[in-house]
Chains A and B, each alone.
Chain A
């Protein structure tokens, strides 16, 4: 009797593709993503930390230290901005341009070796030394500390043999470092906008897939036939469904950020224009995803299974579950194929970096552009519902 029940269960499972995907493919896909991020497929996959170097001292000691940092395998160090092939080399970073670059998110950290550093580069304790300035972006809490550690290691290896100023204490490290957070020092900020955007986009995608699924419900109930036999074209119907889904997404994001403002003191109201622009673009993009999912699926159950697989995968590599800077470089790039990454980057620019609305052009452009393309693909697949 029990065997009959077990056998029926497996027979039903074998014919339910959605359940098969959720049972076997989704766990393996997730395991692979997390494994790639945290397990390290190989050491070569470990992310190198991007750091900008400014040598104001130009002394033999400072040049040795810069050389060591440039060759450190854990760092992706640069003394000047990268330029495209064929363009003239850019001038070296200055303290100001490096700080701006960190502020704008080009790199999570910059090291500025001040004038006078070479006179007494290393020492221990409180002795008077010209400290290296470490500027970092606290939206990446790991990078600053990593760069500080690597700096000490490279100083130790490259500057050994140089005069030591004071050996009374080792509380300051091998070289003196003055650490400063270029983002968070002006006002108290938190990572709350990142989480509001990250979690928000993930759930928006679920909501959009459910809203798109109403097309499949209507197809199954016959309501879609009835609607299309009236004066409603497939394009109008799809656009209407997408408009509803986009508005719903905007409402959800608004509620989420209002909650963040009320409970977590997110400074929403002084960032309102950027928030509105990003919310409209994000809502539009996720709504198009819902339409595509519905139009490529044959049943609601199928849409649910495919949707769950895609949304969780996109959210994992797109940075909704954990920041993308934790990920290997290849995966960070793969994340750019998701709506999540572009939305999170945009909200981070608004709330974290206080960037003007014009700086949102890449994010808004990608979200709106991709949304239009995805909608057009969905419209193409929706031909299956038109007259045959």
Chain B
């Protein structure tokens, strides 16, 4: 008797993609389980877009494989399960919202009632039902973004690729898009989300993969990533009433560094703060301010790639 193992929504296995001398993806492996939301973070040129386009079937790997529910990326069977929302506003500007959804639904092979249902769901989901008959070029930037997302989902895919869906939108529209993504998750979709905004990844994604130079250099949830990069260390910032010159030797003697008038100490236990305060009191230094800072995803990204996320 053979046991059939259910295929996972997305399995990327040792994918390599080269463009001439440039290796854009250098051996990426990823498994995204059902109903997960994977945040794919990486600086510009890290290989994110190539990987996303590979999942969408628009880039063929030189080595390795990409499977969507067990079907090779780019195959009709994989395409039926996959919804791709590109970063660009990939819409027909002279068609209405409904006409755009109808066009992309038909391109996905929908007809009749299934098409009508898909369009109705999309208009409702993107809060565009009252603008269904409006031509795209008359919509606001936020509405176009929402329609751009909806156009990738008319066929109700189980795996959704969202490539920087909030680029260039105002904070209000961004919140609306977050609501849409959370709604999608609530309905059971598996999501792969790329962004340049760390707070989006923190809010929406349960797993984050950091990609740089074509490789996944870290993967896990936020806590795991911080733990992997910084262990249990925290950063204590202390400011003193006395001048910097007077405190420099004291800070150095306790393994700290001075940066912009504040002393930084790496600690692993909060109780170490009390020790620092006692020592300062004993040595006659008046402490003005103490802050305990835990590393966040931004720190992790900086630590791993040496670059800010938005560089």
Q: In the complex, which of the residues B19, B93, B152 contacts A226, with contact meaning CB atoms closer than 8 Å?
A: B152
Check A231/B108 contact, CB under 8 A, given A222-B88, A223-B91, A387-B57: yes
Contact B79 A229 (CB under 8 A): yes
Chain B proximity mask over A218-243: 1 for CB below 8 Å, otherwise 0: 00011101111111100000000000
Report B304 CB to chain A, min CB distance, Å: 29
In the complex, whether A168 has a CB less than 8 A from a CB of chain B is no
Q: Determine whether A388 belongs to the interface, using a CB cutoff of 8 Å to chain B.
A: yes
Asked if B57 contacts A231 (CB within 8 A), the reply is no
- Contact: A387 with B74, CB < 8 Å? yes
Contact between A388 and B59, CB atoms less than 8 A apart: yes
Chain A residue with Cβ nearest B100: A223
| Distance of A223 Cα from B58 Cα, bound (Å) | 13
Question: Does B89 lie within 8 Å of A226, measured CB to CB?
Answer: no
Give chain A residues whose Cβ lies under 8 Å from the Cβ of B90. 221-223, 225-226
- Are B107 and A227 touching (Cβ within 8 A)? yes
B107, A232: Cβ atoms under 8 Å? yes
Q: Name A221's contact: one of B19, B82, B89 (CB within 8 Å).
A: B89
Give the A-B pair count, Cβ closer than 8 A: 55
Q: Is B108 in contact with A221, judged by CB distance below 8 angstroms?
A: no
B301 contacts chain A at the CB level, 8 A cutoff: no
Question: B76 contacts A226, CB within 8 Å?
Answer: no
Interface size on A, residues (CB 8 A): 13
Q: CB distance B88 to A231 under 8 Å?
A: no
Q: Chain B's nearest CB lies how many Å from the CB of A224?
A: 8
What is the CB-to-nearest-CB distance from B10 to chain A, in angstroms, rounded to a whole number? 15
Q: Are A387 and B60 in contact, with the CB atoms below 8 A?
A: yes
Q: Is the CB of A221 within 8 A of B107?
A: no
Please state if B104 and A226 are interface contacts (CB–CB under 8 Å): yes
0/1 string, A353-388, CB within 8 A of B gives 1:
000000000000000000000000000000000011
User: B107 to A231, Cβ gap below 8 A?
Assistant: yes
- A interface footprint on B75-97 (CB within 8 Å = 1, 0 otherwise): 01001101010111111110000
Cα distance A230–B104 when bound, in Å? 8
- Nearest-CB distance from B16 to chain A (Å)? 14
**Inside 8 A of A232's CB, which chain B residues have their CB?**
107
Give Cα A228 to B59, complex, Å.
11
Cβ-closest chain B residue relative to A386: B58
A273 to chain B, nearest CB (A): 35
Q: How far is the CB of A219 from chain B (nearest CB, A)?
A: 10
Asked if A229 and B58 sit within 8 Å, CB to CB, the answer is: yes
Task: Give Cα A387–Cα B55 distance, bound, in whole angstroms.
Answer: 12
Q: Are A228 and B58 in contact (CB under 8 A)?
A: yes
The answer to whether A223 touches B79 (Cβ under 8 A) is: no
Is B210 part of the binding interface, using a Cβ–Cβ cutoff of 8 Å?
no
CA distance A53 to B57 in the complex (A): 70
- Does B109 contact A226, Cβ atoms closer than 8 Å? no
The answer to whether A231 and B79 touch across the interface, beta carbons within 8 angstroms, is yes
**Which A228-272 residues sit within 8 Å CB-CB of chain B?**
228-232
Distance, CA A61 to CA B275, complexed state (A): 135
Per the bound structure, the CA–CA distance linking A11 and B76 in Å amounts to 48
Of B74, B76, B90, the most chain A CB neighbours within 10 A belong to B90
- In the bound complex, how far is the Cα of B87 from the Cα of A225, in angstroms? 11
Q: Is the CB of B86 within 8 A of A222?
A: yes
B17 — nearest CB in chain A belongs to which residue?
A388
Q: Which residues of B contact A221 (CB under 8 A)?
A: 88-91, 93
A226, A228, A231: residue with the most chain B Cβ atoms closer than 10 Å: A226
A386 to chain B: closest CB distance in Å? 9
Q: Which residue of A lies closest to B154 (CB)?
A: A230
B56 CB–A CB distance under 8 Å:
yes
Tell whether, in the assembled complex, residue A230 and residue B86 are in contact, meaning their CB atoms are under 8 Å apart.
no
Contact of B79 among A225, A230, A388 (CB under 8 A): A230
Chain A residues within an 8 Å CB radius of B91: 221, 223
Interface status of B46 (Cβ within 8 A of chain A): no
A339 to B74, CA, bound (A): 38
Q: Mark A6-26, 1 if CB is under 8 A from B, else 0.
A: 000000000000000000000
B151 CB within 8 Å of chain A: yes
Contact A222-B107, Cβ < 8 Å, known A229-B79, A387-B60: no
B76 touches A387 (CB 8 A): no
Whether B87 and A229, one on each chain, are in contact in the complex, defined by CB atoms closer than 8 angstroms, is: no
Contacting pair B74 A223 (CB below 8 A): no
Which of chain A's residues have a CB closer than 8 A to the CB of B84?
226, 229
In the bound assembly, the distance between CA atoms of A388 and B19 in angstroms comes to 9
A231 to B109, CA, bound (A): 7
Q: Is the CB of A229 within 8 A of B89?
A: no
Give the complex CA separation of A387 and B72 in angstroms.
14
Q: Which one of A230, A231, A387 contacts B59 once the chains associate, using CB atoms below 8 Å?
A: A387
Q: In the complex, which residues of chain A have a beta carbon less than 8 angstroms from the beta carbon of B74?
A: 229, 387
Residues of B within 8 A of A388 (CB): 19, 58-60
Interchain CB contact under 8 A, A222 and B87: yes
Contact B92 A223 (CB under 8 A): yes
* B58:A230 contact, CB within 8 angstroms: no
Q: Separation in Å of the A221 CB from the closest CB of chain B? A: 6
Q: How many angstroms from the CA of A221 to the CA of B57 in the assembled complex?
A: 18
Q: How far is the CA of A246 from the CA of B59 in the complex (A)?
A: 32
The distance in angstroms between the C-alpha atoms of A223 and B108, with both chains bound, is 14
Q: When chains A and B are docked, how far (Å) is the Cα of A341 from the Cα of B75?
A: 45
> B53 — which chain A residues lie within 8 A by C-beta?
225
CB <8 Å contact, A229 and B109: no
B86, B89, B104, B151: which contacts A225 (Cβ < 8 A)? Answer: B86
A230 to B154, CA, bound (A): 11
Residues of chain B with a CB closer than 8 A to A228's CB: 58
Q: Are B108 and A226 in contact (CB under 8 A)?
A: no
Residue of A nearest to B163 (CB): A222
**New contact pairs (13) apart from A222-B88, A225-B56, A226-B86, CB-CB < 8 Å:** A221-B91, A221-B93, A222-B90, A223-B90, A226-B84, A226-B90, A226-B104, A226-B152, A227-B107, A229-B84, A231-B109, A387-B58, A387-B59
Please give the residue numbers on chain B whose beta carbons come within 8 Å of chain A beta carbons, in ascending order: 19, 53, 56-60, 74, 76, 79-80, 82, 84, 86-93, 104, 107-109, 151-152
Q: Which are the 8 A-B pairs with shortest beta-carbon distances?
A: A222-B88, A222-B90, A230-B107, A223-B90, A226-B90, A229-B56, A222-B86, A231-B109
Could you pull out 10 A-B pairs where Cβ atoms are within 8 angstroms?
Answer: A221-B90, A221-B93, A222-B88, A223-B92, A225-B90, A229-B74, A229-B79, A229-B84, A231-B109, A388-B19
